[in-house]
Structure 1
Amino acid sequence: MPLTTLQWLMTTTSLSQEAINFPLHWGLPIIVSHGNDTTEGADCQEVGKLNVSLRCKFIRETSDCNDTDGYIRYLDGAFCSFPPQLFPLAIFLYALWLLYLFIILAVTAEKFFCPNLSAISRTLRLSHNVAGVTFLAFGNGAPDVFSAVAAFSDSRTAGLAIGALFELLTDTEENSIPTPHGSEYGDEYRPLLPLQHTTWQIFWEGINPVDSRKWRQKRWHWKIVKVFKIPIEVLLLLCVPIVDPDKEDCNWQRPLNCVHVITSPVLCLFCLHSGTYARYVIQGVLPVWALVLLIGIPLSLILLFTTKNGEPPKYHCIFSFVGFITSALWISAVATEIVNLLRTFGVIFRLSNTVLGLTLLAWGNSIGDFVSNLTLARQGYPRMAFSACFGGIIFNVLIGVGLGCLLQMGPSKPELQLEAQDLLVWILAGGLGISLIFSLIAVPIQCFHLRRGYGIALLLLYVLFLVVALLTEFGVIKLKS
């Protein structure tokens, strides 16, 4: 059963009165610890049953508690960096950090990912449907495929990959409607005559995310949110190029694009596997990120001396692909942090792996897709976003599950055995099948003109599926023996 924060504190208080030398294996299934070896066979959620003085050691020695795919070790921070009396403070700070990660996702998708995707589709002359099921589906589905492959590497976590395939499909509305390609400033501030700017002026305007006239017009709550957005916007403006076909110069900013030649590959390296590849030292002498930096500097100088301000080169469209890849990897890295943070909440409140896979992990894995698709739809590309909803799922199921299973098979292991979930497996498969059949029937009946009722029906279908799956997990719904 899930634990509330109050119940957790009551457990902490009661356990702290027990003897300090209480055995580590109390209430745990098969735990073996030898010196500094990793604890094997233990579930990380069992940390709540331990004495307060033993929880930090358990978190650090249990393999199931290792956050090796993220930048921050949230479990270690919650149980080792904060004393038991300040444990609610750790939960509160993690909740604030989770909210900020959502803001980072929204900013990246709206101002960097979607504009470059639009530029790519125009450069290749792709229809919105084709762009949705190809580039957008790949960009959205790549993190889920990597997660599924990693999950299938262990039969205990393979169920998480299956459960996380059932993504949250929802819709939200806001009062403000952004201008095309995520521009905050619109056309009203665009000068009638082009102005000649120096190189440094172009660079400063390129990395400045605040418009002074709009700042004076906005209300205080918008300004507060904007202050929190400024650091991440400046970082992304320095690292992610943006190509806008609607502008005469396609948003060519010569000094800033020269910097992108250096910073974009470095950011991509640090986004891959939590920066492990970037920190790898070649023959114990030179790290990979330094090598990429040394290669990027001369290329940047060549670009600087062979181009002019206001005249984009013929190969400027390449920057849209670079920006798309960089923003997609950044979204993947942020989504990974969200998944790790949600998993930390699952451990704290003692949610089972199945419930975690159906709820928090599924929502965390889908938040990047949700923000990207929603932003595209609100910017005037609903067909591309709708195509990506189905193209992403197909990509995840066929490539993610297929590749994950294939990598675990070999000559000595012709099949992959998952944990038996009994009735829940049929509910998962049935929920996916019913939703696809419903869309297969409802969309042609409406002559492919989707209305609000279709979205409401999908939401109700998801809520019904989630309720039935959770009731089955908690034993309320079960088969007669």
Structure 2
Amino acid sequence: MAFVLSENFKAFINTCFLLLLCFFLTSHIRSPTTFINGLQSTPKGINCVGFHKLRDQHAKCLFLKTQTPCVSQGYVNYLRIFYCLCGRYPPLGYTLLASWLLVLFYLLGNTASQYFCSSVESLSRVLNLSPTIAGVTLLSLGNGSPDVFASIVSFRSGSGEVGLSSVLGGAFFVSCVVVGIINICGSSLPHAVRIDRSSFVRDVCFFVVVLSSLLAILVVRRITIWGAMAFTSLYFVYVSIVSATHFCREKYEDLVVPIIKELDEPTSAAAAEKEAAEGSEAKADHEDYDQEGSSSSSPPSSSSSSSSASRSLRWVLYAIDMPLYLPRRLTIPDVSEERWSRPYAVASATLAPILIATFWNSKRGVLGSKEGLTIYLYAGLIGLILGLFALHTTMKNSPPKKVLFPWLAGGFLMSVLWTYIIAEELVGLLVSLGYIFGISPSILGLTVLAWGNSIGDLIANVAMAMNGGQDGAQIAISGCYAGPIFNTLAGLGLSLVVSSWAVHPEPFVVPVGPALFEILGFMIGGLLWALVILPRKDMRLDRVLGIGLLAIYLCFLSLRLSQSLGLVQV
């Protein structure tokens, strides 16, 4: 018993360390949605609404060259590329932006599936976390921390309604679209995947309670510092409930499972004999198939020209993929068995602190200053120490077997950082496309920015559900509800705490628009639909549930678009 408690306490301490480190990393950097109010005014007060009134390409290019950029996200000024470099050839500009959009989606998906999901699964094993607890802690943290600080900054900058719309739009997208796609894709898997009933009902019901509490706050339109703190503390209640149910389940399994095994022992022995017999027959068939396949699958004789063409194509693809692959491989520690490389491991331990320093300096605007140089020197020293340590403690042929937590924690943090960087660039491109096509800020906040903030959840959770088996699907589904709960309570909750603290003892007036009530109504409807359908399908991933969730989201989207176009008045 003491051993179990010590292991649980160690897992709790390590998880808290990761949480605090991620918060420290993201609390001082700008999020992709921080400057959504730039659609109305830039940080220096330049009015960007007038940009849409300019019809001439040359005038728009002149405006972008002389004024503060309207889009503050990302590292590339896409508007200048489109209107200045490709001003005379708009099709070329559309082609370039569309191609780069596909590249960013590929990078985001590849980073999530190859690095982020692998580190989450390995961390959950090292920390002895159940799939459910891993979903409500590590996965929620990795996906939700940028949204939390984006919401806080938007409230502090006077764009509270935008922060509310962005967080709720992302939560709606994840709880409907992502869960729907997981169910549609999971229903086609060769082996039926079942979700734990008690965990699912607990998460969905608690999310309904959270949204109902938020609805009450929006109806009242005012909140005090104590009310904001009570709303935020609901997340600690949720984590406590998840931990308590997991502990009770472990105690139940320790008491009941040995008895069930003793009762099923004769049956298990007979089943094992039958399985062994079937396995030997299958092995023989497989050997026969291998012999036939070896003879039939030998490469046909081909001309030297086709062989040279295929070799050239492989080199072209390799040259294209290498600039996208190498920076992440050199900075994300990866100790998985199939991708282990000692040189890459040493390089990642050395270069990861330098990448963090570069990212930190760029966000704080001190790249060329003495402060930036000092940060680089410290980062270089830390990287050198970590690189030498990795060189002397790792082997060439196999990844380390002991003291895995620092490696996995580093891989988790760096994959989160890379996902953040790519997502920020993606959102910057999407916002620029919004300017190019003249999309209104309200639609942009509820759709494009919500999609941009949630695309990591979509790719990571779907990849984990499809490739992680039963545990992977459980982590993904838990993350689809725990992530929005985290974003709503931590993001909006802390935003309300900060805003109400600034006007204490007076209550803070919550910025409310009709779209917020609509999205809450549709979101609660989607949760109730999932709560009814999935238990009726014996907790198996089901196509009907997925199609229904996607239909609910499309109905909301159609309503918002109709309202923005003036076709429907509500």
TM-score range (shorter-chain normalised) is: 0.7 to 0.9
Letter in 2 for 1:101: L
Contact 1:143 1:332 in 2 (8 A): yes
Partner of 1:309: 396
Partner of 2:128: 125
Letter in 2 for 1:399: A
The one of 66, 70, 80 equivalent to 1:66 is 70
Tell me how far apart the structure 2 counterparts of residues 228 and 294 of structure 1 sit (CA, whole Å): 33
Letter in 1 for 2:324: I
Contact 2:161 2:512 in 1 (8 A): no
The one of 464, 477, 480 equivalent to 2:555 is 464
Partner of 1:292: 379
Tell me how far apart the structure 1 counterparts of residues 416 and 397 of structure 2 sit (CA, whole Å): 28
Contact 2:352 2:383 in 1 (8 A): no
Contact 2:361 2:367 in 1 (8 A): no
- Is residue 76 of structure 2 the alignment partner of residue 76 of structure 1? no
Q: CA offsets per residue over residues 319-347 of structure 1, 9 Å max, x none? A: 11101110111001101111111111111
Provide the alpha-carbon RMSD of the alignment: 3.5
1:441 positional shift: 3.0
Query: Secondary structure in 1 aligned to 2:568?
Result: coil
The one of 297, 311, 319 equivalent to 2:407 is 319
Partner of 2:430: 342
Contact 1:270 1:276 in 2 (8 A): no
- Is residue 321 of structure 2 the alignment partner of residue 229 of structure 1? yes
Tell me how far apart the structure 2 counterparts of residues 135 and 32 of structure 1 sit (CA, whole Å): 36
Matches within 5 A, 1:16-415: 38-40=44-46, 42-44=47-49, 46-49=51-54, 51-59=56-64, 65-79=69-83, 81-82=84-85, 84-156=87-159, 158-159=161-162, 161-163=164-166, 164-165=169-170, 166-167=172-173, 168-169=177-178, 171=181, 228-244=320-336, 247=337, 253-272=341-360, 275-276=363-364, 279=367, 281-283=369-371, 286-310=373-397, 312=400, 314-379=402-467, 380=469, 381-412=472-503, 414-415=506-507
Tell me how far apart the structure 2 counterparts of residues 50 and 335 of structure 1 sit (CA, whole Å): 30
Letter in 1 for 2:561: L
1:351 positional shift: 0.8
Query: Secondary structure in 2 aligned to 1:359?
Result: helix
Distance 1:95 1:317, change over 3 A: same
Contact 2:349 2:387 in 1 (8 A): yes
Query: Secondary structure in 2 aligned to 1:239?
Result: coil
- Greater CA radius of gyration, 1 or 2? 2
Number of residues of Structure 1 aligned to a counterpart in Structure 2: 398
Tell me how far apart the structure 2 counterparts of residues 303 and 135 of structure 1 sit (CA, whole Å): 25
1:120 positional shift: 0.5
Contact 2:434 2:444 in 1 (8 A): yes
Tell me how far apart the structure 2 counterparts of residues 131 and 462 of structure 1 sit (CA, whole Å): 27
Tell me how far apart the structure 1 counterparts of residues 119 and 521 of structure 2 sit (CA, whole Å): 37
Structure 1 unmatched ranges of 5 or more: 1-30, 178-214
1:251 positional shift: 6.0
Tell me how far apart the structure 1 counterparts of residues 389 and 533 of structure 2 sit (CA, whole Å): 55
Contact 1:262 1:300 in 2 (8 A): yes
Distance 1:92 1:334, change over 3 A: same
Q: CA offsets per residue over residues 86-139 of structure 1, 9 Å max, x none? A: 333223211111110011112111211111111101111212121111111111
Identity of aligned residues (%): 30
Distance 1:299 1:156, change over 3 A: closer
1:252 positional shift: 5.3
Structure 2 unmatched ranges of 5 or more: 1-39, 190-306
Contact 2:51 2:63 in 1 (8 A): no
Distance 1:382 1:70, change over 3 A: same
Contact 1:271 1:329 in 2 (8 A): no
Q: CA offsets per residue over residues 56-77 of structure 1, 9 Å max, x none? A: 45446666x5333421122233
| Worse-superposed segment, 52-61 or 330-339 | 52-61
1:400 positional shift: 1.3
Contact 1:271 1:330 in 2 (8 A): no
Contact 2:86 2:92 in 1 (8 A): no
Distance 1:52 1:403, change over 3 A: same
Letter in 1 for 2:528: I
Tell me how far apart the structure 2 counterparts of residues 418 and 58 of structure 1 sit (CA, whole Å): 35
1:50 positional shift: 5.1
Query: Secondary structure in 1 aligned to 2:158?
Result: coil
Query: Secondary structure in 1 aligned to 2:71?
Result: coil
Query: Secondary structure in 1 aligned to 2:330?
Result: helix
Distance 1:410 1:160, change over 3 A: closer
1:419 positional shift: 5.4
| Worse-superposed segment, 118-127 or 165-174 | 165-174
Contact 2:126 2:404 in 1 (8 A): no
- Is residue 529 of structure 2 the alignment partner of residue 442 of structure 1? no
Letter in 1 for 2:430: L
